[in-house]
Amino acid sequence: MIDKMNTGIQSALKNPSVLVALGIAFLLIVMGTGLLGLSLSVIILFLLFIFVIPTLLYHALKKIADPVPLWLPLLLVILVVGIFSSGLAGGQGLVENIIIPFSLIFLLSTLAVIGPYPLFEKKIGAKNPWQVFTLMSFVGVALFFFSTMGERLEGQPSPPLFSTFPLSGWIFDGLANILHLQDAVYAFDSHVYSILWACAFYLEVFFITFLYYAVLGWVSSANTGAGKE
């Protein structure tokens, strides 16, 4: 009975039809919250960073080092956060105001999805990483959309990161408290807050993805062990 349940869970988690169904459900949620009032370019980026780019980027990293070491995606994370905090992600035009900032945030999510995968790749045993990446890419992008919902009054301080990212935000909130940097970090339109927000977002997706891969690897290993018996 347990073996059948494990097999069912494993099949469901790797089944592209299930992932697409979850994607449609998420889109309905997005429509219900009015987020599809965003431009067509954002929707296109949304689809690319869920269905296409994670797998392509992972295969590109495997060309550099196979298996992909944990530090390799992390180097790209540092680069992305650096660009994000450089001021390029802002302006009046379509590219500066929409394409660049959304691409950078979605890329952070993609790198968080890719990061822990090599640790569990053999245990999961997926024939194509797309089967595994798609669901977590949905989660990462969904987290971004929901973390930016709500309005903040002009001139008001930024909220604690823990209120948006419960798994990782407390780390940066704690550092701000220990170093007595609350005024600099949480000030309205704080440059430091933007950097810490990006780091907390990456870690939040990374932690969620790590737990998902661990469960999926355990289910796959249990199913393989039962098959041998």
Can you tell me the distance from the alpha carbon of 171 to that of 58, in angstroms, rounded to the nearest whole number?
Answer: 28
pLDDT of 95 reads 75
Angstrom CA distances, 171 to 98, 164, 165, stand at 29, 12, 10
pLDDT of 223 reads 67
6 pLDDT exceeds 50?
A: no
pLDDT of 152 reads 61
Read off the pLDDT of residues 151-202 as tens digits, 9 standing for 90 and up: 665 668 889 999 999 999 999 999 999 999 999 999 988 889 999 999 999 9
pLDDT of 4 reads 46
DSSP state of 157: P
pLDDT of 211 reads 96
40 pLDDT exceeds 70?
A: yes
Structural contact between residues 135 and 205, judged by C-beta atoms closer than 8 angstroms:
no
Query: What's the pTM?
Result: 0.83
Read off the pLDDT of residues 116-134 as tens digits, 9 standing for 90 and up: 999 999 888 888 888 899 9
140 pLDDT exceeds 90?
A: yes
pLDDT of 180 reads 92
Share above pLDDT 90 across residues of the chain, in percent, rounded to a whole number: 46
pLDDT of 225 reads 56
21 pLDDT exceeds 80?
A: no
pLDDT of 222 reads 75
Angstrom CA distances, 132 to 5, 140, 225, stand at 19, 13, 21
13 pLDDT exceeds 60?
A: no
φ/ψ of residue 113, rounded to 5: -70, -40
